[in-house]
Amino acid sequence: MNLAILRVHNGFFVMDVEILSRIQFAFTISFHYIYPPLSIGLGLVMVFMEGLYLKTRNPQYEQLARFWTRIFALTFGIGVATGIVMEFEFGTNWATYSRYVGDVFGSALAAEGVFAFALESGFLGILLFGWNRVKPPVHFFATVMVLLGSMFSAVWIVVANSWQQTPAGFHIVGEGMQARAEIIDFWAMVFNPSSVDRLTHVWIAAFLAGAFMVLSVHAWYLLKGRFVEVSKKAIKIALSIALVASLSQLLTGHHSAAGVAENQPAKLAAFEGHFEASAPADLYLFGWVNKETEEVTGLKIPGGTSMLVHGDFEEPVAGLRSFAEEDRPSALNAIFQFYHLMIAIGMALIGISVLACFFWWRGTLFEQRWLLMLLVPSVLLPQIGNQVGWFAAEMGRQPWVVYGLLRTSDALSKAVTANQVLFSLIMFTFVYVILLGLFLYLLNKKIQHGPEDDESIAHRPQQEAMMDNVQP
């Protein structure tokens, strides 16, 4: 693959349209993916908070639910705006890909729009603006619907992406550049070999993103001695989710890796830096891949990957050398590092959750200041884990955009020039930097402000009367 960004053409340096389109897609999807996991994860926490409010009628839970709804609104809004970009980018930058997959990918996308996105955006209005307009159980229902909607939307997107990793339920019509995939079995497409493992992996990763955000914010409040009672309640809710989620992530992660070994052997070989065509594969805890010498330096469990995949330390696993040079992923060290970083983060999340639950069980959780201090920055861990996990998954699939069928370099829009992409890339960078700045600024402001504010329930009628009398 040609990774040179600059090429000499007519005496000028020009950018390569393929690499620019790839950078733009990677940039816009990575930026987008900060938000949906937070929406799903916070949605789950909010359902618990509001559910507990309905059950106990303790207004502290309502206060929490309202507080996190305000933060949810922020993440959701940016998630939607940056998500629409993705839907159109397939057509604008990857027209050949769109023609190729449209018949298969289309029904998943249609289902996403109808079943998921419409549901969440519709009920969002009630979730955000309906506190004083509908009864608490109706509002709770809306919260559940928004969570379900966001989880459904993950279903269809992950199904589509999994189909690109492990295509199933289709046949190829036409030849050469005219070839395209046509669906023959909807359910085989939906339940392609990797969908279920990857979907559960994505969902749980999203729950972790939400839970650790709540843990981080409320741990910070406790350290500052603010909103102590509500924060303890919030931490208990989020910690329960974090414990269950981080442990189950181990399971889905293992299943996913086993699936990759079976369906995308070149990708697994890249994950583990396994070069020998047929030899037992080691499992690295960390290491460095030298692509030129085809060697990995690091700490390893000999035969560990063979053990995980086949249950036997001696069993050979297909290595990178058993694939033609042009069919291997190219950014080997990056893939290796991203994959191992994801696993390390997963383990760290288990460690933190188990430790915190241990102190909770001992009844001394809120006295462990060091642990609370650890929880505050830990909000970044699931975010980084989500990003690098996807980097590994998508870069490991290269050079294919549809595994084994369509190459990324063949998938571009032929009508689009490098200058156009450069223009849009600069524009996206500009807008997204502003967007991220605003997000962090407003997030910080809401957190500083905290769950207790002038919107508290007791003052509601008074507050409303005041708002109605605001003088222009």
Partner 1 sequence: MMNPTFLGLDYPTLWFLVLGGLFSGYAILDGFDLGAGAWHLFFRKEQSRRVALNAIGPVWDGNEVWLVIGGGALFAGFPEVYATLLSAMYIPFMLFLMMLIMRAVSIEFRSKEPMLWWRKMWDISYSVSSIMLSVLLGIVLGNVIQGIPMGADHEFTGNWISFLNPYAILVGITTLSIFMVHGALYLTMKTEGRLFAKLTILLKRAIIFFVVMIVSLTMVSLVFVPQMSDRIFSQPWLGILPLLMGAAIFFIPRFVRVRRYRPAFLLSSGVIMLLLIVVAVELYPVLLPSSSSAAHSLDIYSASSSTKSLEIMLIIAAIGAPLVLSYTIFIYKTFWGKVKLDDSSY
Nearest-angstrom CA–CA distance, 245 and 385: 14
User: In whole angstroms, how close is the CB of 42 to partner 1 at the nearest point?
Assistant: 16
- 47 vs 443, beta carbon nearer partner 1: 443
User: In whole angstroms, how close is the CB of 145 to partner 1 at the nearest point?
Assistant: 8
- 191 vs 360, beta carbon nearer partner 1: 191
User: In whole angstroms, how close is the CB of 109 to partner 1 at the nearest point?
Assistant: 4
User: In whole angstroms, how close is the CB of 107 to partner 1 at the nearest point?
Assistant: 5
- 152 vs 203, beta carbon nearer partner 1: 152
Per the structure block, which two tokens stand in for 95?
A: 């027209």
Whether 155 and 116 have beta carbons less than 8 Å apart is answered as yes
Per the structure block, which two tokens stand in for 78?
A: 């940016």
User: In whole angstroms, how close is the CB of 428 to partner 1 at the nearest point?
Assistant: 8
Beta strand 6-9 with 12-15 is antiparallel
User: In whole angstroms, how close is the CB of 367 to partner 1 at the nearest point?
Assistant: 36
Question: What DSSP line would sit under 173-198, residue for residue?
Answer: ES-GGG-EEEES-HHHHHT-TTHHHH
- 22 vs 180, beta carbon nearer partner 1: 180
For residue 169, what is the DSSP state? S
- 131 vs 360, beta carbon nearer partner 1: 131
Residues 6 or more apart whose Cβ sits within 8 Å of residue 448 = none
What is the identity of the amino acid at 98?
A: S
For residue 299, what is the DSSP state? E
Sign of the torsion angle spanned by Cα atoms 213, 389, 157, 151: negative
Helix H or strand E encompassing 57:
none
Beta-carbon count within 10 A of 184 CB: 12
Q: Give the E-state strand segments of 174-241 in sequence order.
A: 180-183
- 73 vs 350, beta carbon nearer partner 1: 73
Helix H or strand E encompassing 407:
strand 406-407
- 80 vs 357, beta carbon nearer partner 1: 80
User: In whole angstroms, how close is the CB of 60 to partner 1 at the nearest point?
Assistant: 18
Q: Using alpha carbons, select from 421, 441, 443 the residue that is nearest to residue 433.
A: 441
Beta-carbon count within 10 A of 125 CB: 12
Helix intervals (H) in 94-135: 95-111, 118-129
Residues 6 or more apart whose Cβ sits within 8 Å of residue 171 = 181, 182, 184
For residue 314, what is the DSSP state? T
Q: Using alpha carbons, select from 379, 356, 68, 44 the residue that is nearest to residue 230.
A: 68
- 125 vs 351, beta carbon nearer partner 1: 125
Residues 6 or more apart whose Cβ sits within 8 Å of residue 234 = 45, 49, 64, 214, 218
Cis amide bond preceding 399, omega within 30 = yes
- 326 vs 454, beta carbon nearer partner 1: 454
Whether 315 and 306 have beta carbons less than 8 Å apart is answered as yes
User: In whole angstroms, how close is the CB of 8 to partner 1 at the nearest point?
Assistant: 22
User: In whole angstroms, how close is the CB of 34 to partner 1 at the nearest point?
Assistant: 14
For residue 413, what is the DSSP state? -
- 184 vs 301, beta carbon nearer partner 1: 184
In terms of residues, how long is the chain? 472
Per the structure block, which two tokens stand in for 253?
A: 């992660």
User: In whole angstroms, how close is the CB of 203 to partner 1 at the nearest point?
Assistant: 21
User: In whole angstroms, how close is the CB of 63 to partner 1 at the nearest point?
Assistant: 13
- 143 vs 378, beta carbon nearer partner 1: 143
